[in-house]
Structures are given as structure tokens and as C-alpha cells.
Amino acid sequence: AGQSIIGILEVTESDFAKNLAREETEEENAQSEYEQITQENKISRTMKEQDVKYATQEYKALDKTIAELSSDRDSVSTELAAVMDYDAKIKERCIAKPETYEERARRRTEEIAGLKDALAILEDETAGGAFTQRGKHGRRGRHFLSLEPRG
């Protein structure tokens, strides 16, 4: 009976040794897997932190560029408005505008009235001898504005 108890204890010890070896192997594998995942997580975290750093730098650079371009756009818009205003003023001065019939008739009437006044003045002065012409021998004769043929 002592022998059978010792046999049972040896079998039990052998089973415990196998189970212990298997558990230690599984524990080592799990520890190795944990360390590998931890290392991958560290690398991933470092990469993501770098991505955030670069994205932040890029967004700051883009914000600066946006501010500069907005300022440039405002300046160019102001300049364009001034140029367009100047262009409109130049066109207003340079482009001939058709006159209405009434304006042309009024202008022609004023011109005719002015010519009639000038003719009246010339006729008055001619009557007084202001525009008479003297020949070589000092004789008074024709007007220099007269329509009579020279002779």
C-alpha cells in the first residue's frame, strides 16, 4: 500500500510538473506578446504624436498663409475698385455721347445767333470805313471782305 501511495504521488508530481511547465511556457508567451504589443503601442503613440505635431505646424502655417492672402485680397480689391472708378471716369470723359435733337437744335440756334451778331458788327464797322482797303494810290475803295470781283 505504501508503494501505491508513492506511485500516486509520483504521477501527481509528474502531472504538476507538466502543468507547471505548460503554464510557465504560456506565461512566457503571454509576457512576450504583451511586451511586443506594448512596444508597438509605444511606436504607434510616438508616430501619432509626431503626426499631431506636424499637423499643428501645418495648420499654423496655413492660418498664416490665409491671413496674408486675405490681406492681399483686400488690398487688391481696394485697388481694383479704385481702378474701376477711374476707368469709369475716363470713359465718361472720352466716349462721345450722342446729343439729343433738342441739344443740337439749341446749339445751332445759338451759333446762328452769334454769327448774325458778328455779321451785324462787321456791317456796322464796314459802314464806318474800318475795313476799307486803300490801293497804291491812296484811293478808298473796296472792302477786303466784299464779294465784288477785283478789277
Average confidence score pLDDT of the chain: 86
Cβ–Cβ < 8 Å for 146, 132:
no
125 Cβ contact partners less than 8 Å away, ≥ 6 residues apart: 131
pLDDT at 1: 77
Place of cell 464806318: 128
Phi–psi pair at 142, nearest 5 degrees = -65, 160
Place of cell 509626431: 50
Compute the half-sphere exposure of residue 46: CA atoms within 13 Å on the CB side of its CA.
6
pLDDT at 151: 46
pLDDT at 103 over 70: yes
Which is higher by pLDDT, 110 or 100? 110
Q: Which grid cell sits at 111?
A: 451759333
Provide the 10 A C-beta neighbour count for residue 60: 10
pLDDT at 149 over 60: no
pLDDT at 14 over 90: yes
DSSP state of 146: -
141, 144, 150, 151 alpha-carbon torsion, rounded to 10°: 20
- pLDDT range class, residue 126, cuts 50, 70, 90: confident
pLDDT at 132: 52
pLDDT at 94: 82
Is the alpha carbon torsion for 109, 110, 114, 120 positive or negative?
positive
What number is the average pLDDT over the span 38-57? 97
62 Cβ contact partners less than 8 Å away, ≥ 6 residues apart: none
pTM of the model: 0.41
- pLDDT range class, residue 129, cuts 50, 70, 90: low
Cβ–Cβ < 8 Å for 133, 141:
yes
What number is the average pLDDT over the span 24-42? 96
pLDDT at 22 over 90: yes
CA–CA distance, 11 with 22 (Å, rounded to integer)? 16
- pLDDT range class, residue 133, cuts 50, 70, 90: low
